[in-house]
Structure 1
Amino acid sequence: MGLGRRTLIIGVAGALVLGSLPATASATTWRYLTIKGLSRAGKVPWITAQIYDPAAKKSWPVMGRDNAVAKLPDKRTYEIYATLARNEPGESPENTVVLATYKLSKGHDHVTLSAKGGKAIDLSVGDPSVQGRIRVHVRHGAMDFTTDDVPGRLYAVPVKRSGVTFSQGSTWTGSGTLYRLGTSYSAGIPAGVTQHVTKADLAEVKVTYRSFSDGMKVNPRCRGTAWGGDDELWFDAPTTLTEYVQPGAACKRELWYESSSHPLFGNVTLATRTYAKGTAPVETWNAAVFGPAAPGGYRTGDQLHYTPVNLLSDAPGNWGFDQFTIANVKLQAGTKALGLDAYEPDVTLGKSATTYHLDVTATRDAAEATLSDRVQVSWVFTSARTSKKTVLPLSTVRFAPRGLDDRNAAAPGSTTEIPVRVVTNPGATAHAVTTLTVEASTDGSKTWQTLPVVNGTVSVTNPAEPGYVDLRATAVDSAGNQVTETVSRAYRVAG
């Protein structure tokens, strides 16, 4: 084999399948390792494994029906992370996680992995109305080996190993109910994982996931070292779930969404949090108005960096994006256009204090029923050479309409009160807002009506017929920084 790519040999039911791996030097001396396995009943299992080199932090995937053959560089000690699976007619399906180390010494070595010492991963939530799925992670350095199955079919062979963590995350779903359990162990695979809980042992949080498009589905997720198995939990939106969560386990809350009828796919995300046992505050996700949250952007010396992110964050402040959104970015110094756009986020500025105009437009590539189909933000700010990284003095305007239903709609002919607040870029110096002008349009931004701001709130008289309300605001602070923000289809009017 020549230079450029190297191959991986995988044994599948007696056949050899070649998989590509990264390029390597021609001086590599290749060795072979054949992995065989025994199930807990002493029968030949399916093998799915990762061969990991802790020193190089590289891994090689292998799999096979009765054996798996890996092609590995040189003589060295490797870690083998494997799942031994049985699913033959007349047998109870099961998966056993095995971790072993092996020092490769010959031209072609053989090792047998056994599931006979496997201990059950025994979990329950005391609720017969739900069904569960467990995902197991075994981690070491850059290695993250994953196995998942339903409760009662997962086992793991105990082993002590410094630097290795073992975690399980399980999700249990029923009508309007979602359980999340997560536990992590250090220094190897424990001698059995047992966790039996009831609702009283967990944190209870009621979450409403609103809709902003027809045919919308949502997938609430937790991300963290002790979570997993929720990637395929899709629910029709809008929906309200009562979630029972493992207390004290750090969870980065995410909500992925998709639409069956429109090109729409993205997510909103909340900072990592933990829940205490008992009733937690009610949460609402996907609440209009969707617009820019923290604007981001900074300057170091004469280099300005800006990336158009979080342009479709929901009213509670969960940061969001849509993979079918087109972002257009323009930066000007007076009448001079500077080379900044969504794909080249860095530009060199002059050293002197100059007034800049930064314009961003986000357009959803979606059909008529989608909210915030076009969001425009225009900033005016002054910047000069900095001695260190300095956050740009940008702000955004946040709208949080009251009284919308779970489809983010107001009743025709009703009045909607909208709290309005100006949010400063995190890390930038906050200046008092000297001017705040808010406008609304009910005819697709053809005409605008100025709305008085009273105690931080405006009132919109919604049209008598179904449609949409657009919102526009301009804020100026005491340092002269300005933002003008326009949201097309900020919320819906529907009977």
Structure 2
Amino acid sequence: MNRQMKRAYATTVAAAATVALTAGMTGPASAGGPTAAGETGTAGKGTTAAAAPGSVIEQEVGQNPEGYLTISGTSMAAPHVAGAAAILKQRHPDWTYAELKGALTASTLGGPNYRPYEQGSGRVAVDRALAQTVVAEPVSVNFGEQQWPHADDTPVAKEITYRNLGTTDITLDLAVTATDPKGDPAPADFFTLGARTLTVPAGGRASVDLTTDTRLGGTVDGTYSAYVVATGEGQSVRTAAVVKREAEAYDVTLKFVGRDGLPTPDYWSYLSGIAGDGRGSYREPHDASGTVKVRLPKGTYLFDTTISEDPEDSRAGTDWLVQPRLDVTGDMTVTVDARTAKPVDITVPDSAAKPTWVAPRYWYAGEDHNIETGVDVDSFDSLRTAHLGPEVTTGSLNQQWIGVWQKGTDTEYDVMLGGNTRKLATGYRKHLRPADLATVKVGMGASAPGKQGRLFVAGYFPELGGISPITDPLDLPRTRTVHLSTPDNTKWDIAFEQNGTPDEEGTAPTESFYTFDEPRAFKGGATYETRFNGGVLGPRLSRAEGISRDGDTITGELPLHADGDGHAGWTRYDSVHTTLYRNGVKLTENSDALDGNGEGFTVPSDAATYRLTTSVRRDPALATTSTRVDASWTFRSETSTTRTQLPISTARFTPETDLTGRTPADRTAVVPVTVQGAAAGNNLKSLTVYASYDGGTTWKKTPVKNGSITVKNPAKTKSIAFRANITDKQGNRSSVTVYDAYFGK
């Protein structure tokens, strides 16, 4: 950095530290306004600045034009304003922040299609600011809000004072232009000036009144804006002004009563606008007296309140009272009385199981709103609830009672009850019986030693999915017994993750993740088994998975490491190498794991024979089984008008192993082999399977009989590898190889 650049940089930093300027925008990245939220519009949209080669930003956006970066946002606007202030400070070293701010704001250039909330007074013009000697105080005028109705509004005047920083008197011609909330010209005399000319003495001040008369707005409510422009002696001073003409609104008084019948300060409530002029608004009214008045636009609101016996301990008692539909059509008083709430009583058929997590919640959806919320309590025992107001007849209200009970480290009860309703429950009682619960024994596998992992169990209704607590990881491998509630047609999803070594902050990274394809229905009283992260992991194909072509792009979306029970998911790879050949010639290669997250391959449109190969590897410290998977698919393809699945196949190997991927050494074992994809079923032309006991150095052909192969399990601590070559009746060829498929023990 040369001396001149250092001096300019130091000046900019010094000015930025001492000058309280704010940056507005004339683009969508952010917004300015007529107050301290943004009194100028700056070069924040498509701003060009010198590039720092090799910087993070330079790497992200590139140089355009060469040597420069072009970016939008306040991150660009703010330093440009600071730089403008620094230049101005250099010209006028004796000016304070007020003069600097005033000159930059007064000398702006207005955009013809922008209003004060979009550009402040206008776009910063440094050259004009350097010649500026007249500033306005304040730099913007906010008349606030005039309450509805407006027939009796009183005109409001505010003073604009012009200050002459120069050495000669200056006479200013004053003019005001105004727009209504729609951007059309405001009615005549909506904003008026007390004078049309004003002489400001050298070193002195002169003032003029700006008056707004909101009675003149007719039926158009909202924010009206104006610009007062004073011109003279080659200078202009721009001052933005706004006033809000309130739409139809009313005073709503909210009263909160505790269980003792007295006003309570221990409440939390919110109002969410779902229809009318208040749609999309959100308020959290509170006053320690237990009574609070809010001004609400005419419309419909959801009103949600929690009253606590002890705000620091939910076990002391929590009352949750919700009015899904509060119609505000006039001044009104609404009383929320905790004494109207009734108890919630939900139990599981095991007194030794203790609640560890509860999440009562509801979902209220409609054309103009989508509200999902709940209440934070430690147990259902301390909760009481009540529905307030009318029923919801649109079918858009859903309630959930979600809870988890645990006994020891390996038994849990997961409960989700409720569903679509017209009214939220005023009290709720459900004592679950064994016949109401499905039992799922969940194996949590890990082939590498010293691993930890956890389960996520979430219920689903047709209208709304559930949520699952994030628990502490447990040592692997292990089997957990999960009891799932079955009333109310609940479906369940179970997911598993294997965690790596925690970082310095104690966060354990995810190394592998597996889940059901979709939530499943279970039968009460029945017992099920499933295992995650176990068995032989390898490619899986289904109707929704595979290699596809859309136009001239070939992409992959399939799990290369689906677990032995067929659960799809994700695992961390040490290396990925994927290559595409066209008519025997290598077309391209990349690190696409074919899991749907890659960029795919762009290919010529005419028909050709393609061979797609991939090889993925896992660190043995993450998993000692299925450490390497190779796959190859050969098929014909040409351009397509829609996304088309390509004819590929795979083979799944499903021997019986324990949760570490091991089986008794040296025994004879029958290993089922299942073909998936294009060659499945009657379209299979040939299937050849090989086994290797030396890491793939040598292979022995193994006959397939009745959908299985017979092998000798590997010796203790040794592994076996499998390879399958598949051809369908159309001649498409596929090959899959799984190294370290399982070990002997």
- TM bucket normalised to smaller: 0.7 to 0.9
> Structure 2 vs 1, CA of residues 259 and 387 (structure 1 numbering), >3 Å: closer, same or farther?
closer
CA distance in 1, matches of 2:254, 2:576: 50
User: 2:332 aligned with 1:99, yes or no?
Assistant: no
Q: In the alignment, what sits opposite 1:355?
A: 609
* CA-CA distance at 1:313 after TM superposition: 1.4
CA distance in 1, matches of 2:383, 2:253: 25
* CA-CA distance at 1:239 after TM superposition: 2.8
Larger Rg: 2
CA distance in 1, matches of 2:438, 2:268: 38
Map Cα deviations across residues 291-326 of structure 1 (whole Å, 9 max, x no partner).
2212423334x2445244422212222222236676
Map Cα deviations across residues 57-77 of structure 1 (whole Å, 9 max, x no partner).
96869699969x9x9998754
Instruction: Indicate conservation of the 8 Å contact 1:207/1:241, yes or no.
Output: yes
User: 2:510 aligned with 1:287, yes or no?
Assistant: no
User: 2:415 aligned with 1:181, yes or no?
Assistant: yes
Instruction: Indicate conservation of the 8 Å contact 1:76/1:104, yes or no.
Output: yes
* Count of aligned positions: 470
Q: Which runs of 5+ in 1 are unaligned?
A: 8-24
CA distance in 1, matches of 2:336, 2:572: 43
Map Cα deviations across residues 107-162 of structure 1 (whole Å, 9 max, x no partner).
xx998865443332210113111012322221123322133532312332214334
> Structure 2 vs 1, CA of residues 90 and 356 (structure 1 numbering), >3 Å: closer, same or farther?
closer
> Structure 2 vs 1, CA of residues 40 and 209 (structure 1 numbering), >3 Å: closer, same or farther?
farther
Q: In the alignment, what sits opposite 2:663?
A: 410
Q: How does 1:453-472 map to 2 (within 5 A)?
A: 453-472=704-723
> Structure 2 vs 1, CA of residues 463 and 65 (structure 1 numbering), >3 Å: closer, same or farther?
farther
2:628 is matched with which residue: 358, 374, 380?
374
Please identify which structure carries the higher strand content.
1
Q: In the alignment, what sits opposite 2:560?
A: 311
- Scaled by the length of structure 2, the TM-score of the pair is 0.55
Please, which moves more after superposition, 121-130 or 389-398? 389-398
Please, which moves more after superposition, 329-338 or 45-54? 45-54
> Structure 2 vs 1, CA of residues 198 and 434 (structure 1 numbering), >3 Å: closer, same or farther?
same
CA distance in 1, matches of 2:319, 2:380: 13
Q: In the alignment, what sits opposite 1:332?
A: 581
1:135 is matched with which residue: 359, 379, 400?
359
Instruction: Indicate conservation of the 8 Å contact 1:37/1:47, yes or no.
Output: no
CA distance in 2, matches of 1:77, 1:330: 59
SS of 1:200 mapped into structure 2: helix
Instruction: Indicate conservation of the 8 Å contact 1:474/1:484, yes or no.
Output: yes
Q: How does 1:155-174 map to 2 (within 5 A)?
A: 155-159=384-388, 160-161=391-392, 162=394, 163-174=396-407
Instruction: Please report the RMSD computed on the Cα atoms of aligned residues, expressed in angstroms.
Output: 4.2
* CA-CA distance at 1:90 after TM superposition: 8.5
Q: In the alignment, what sits opposite 1:21?
A: none
> Structure 2 vs 1, CA of residues 88 and 97 (structure 1 numbering), >3 Å: closer, same or farther?
closer
SS of 1:171 mapped into structure 2: strand
1:299 is matched with which residue: 549, 555, 580?
549
CA distance in 2, matches of 1:190, 1:227: 19
Instruction: Indicate conservation of the 8 Å contact 2:546/2:556, yes or no.
Output: yes
Instruction: Indicate conservation of the 8 Å contact 1:326/1:363, yes or no.
Output: yes
> Structure 2 vs 1, CA of residues 60 and 5 (structure 1 numbering), >3 Å: closer, same or farther?
farther
CA distance in 1, matches of 2:343, 2:498: 36
> Structure 2 vs 1, CA of residues 99 and 401 (structure 1 numbering), >3 Å: closer, same or farther?
same
> Structure 2 vs 1, CA of residues 386 and 228 (structure 1 numbering), >3 Å: closer, same or farther?
closer
1:207 is matched with which residue: 417, 437, 442?
442
Aligned residue type for 2:345 = D
> Structure 2 vs 1, CA of residues 113 and 322 (structure 1 numbering), >3 Å: closer, same or farther?
farther
User: 2:686 aligned with 1:435, yes or no?
Assistant: yes
Q: How does 1:197-236 map to 2 (within 5 A)?
A: 197-214=432-449, 215-225=451-461, 228=466, 230-233=468-471, 235-236=474-475
Instruction: Indicate conservation of the 8 Å contact 1:219/1:257, yes or no.
Output: yes
* CA-CA distance at 1:344 after TM superposition: 4.6
CA distance in 2, matches of 1:382, 1:396: 17
* CA-CA distance at 1:479 after TM superposition: 1.0
Q: In the alignment, what sits opposite 1:490?
A: 741
Q: In the alignment, what sits opposite 2:519?
A: 272
Q: In the alignment, what sits opposite 1:13?
A: none
Aligned residue type for 2:675 = V
Map Cα deviations across residues 23-78 of structure 1 (whole Å, 9 max, x no partner).
xx7478699999996654553336375846468996869699969x9x99987544
Aligned residue type for 1:170 = G
Aligned residue type for 1:266 = F
Q: In the alignment, what sits opposite 2:383?
A: 154
Q: In the alignment, what sits opposite 1:47?
A: 268
CA distance in 1, matches of 2:562, 2:281: 37
> Structure 2 vs 1, CA of residues 333 and 75 (structure 1 numbering), >3 Å: closer, same or farther?
farther
Aligned residue type for 2:424 = I
CA distance in 1, matches of 2:438, 2:671: 32
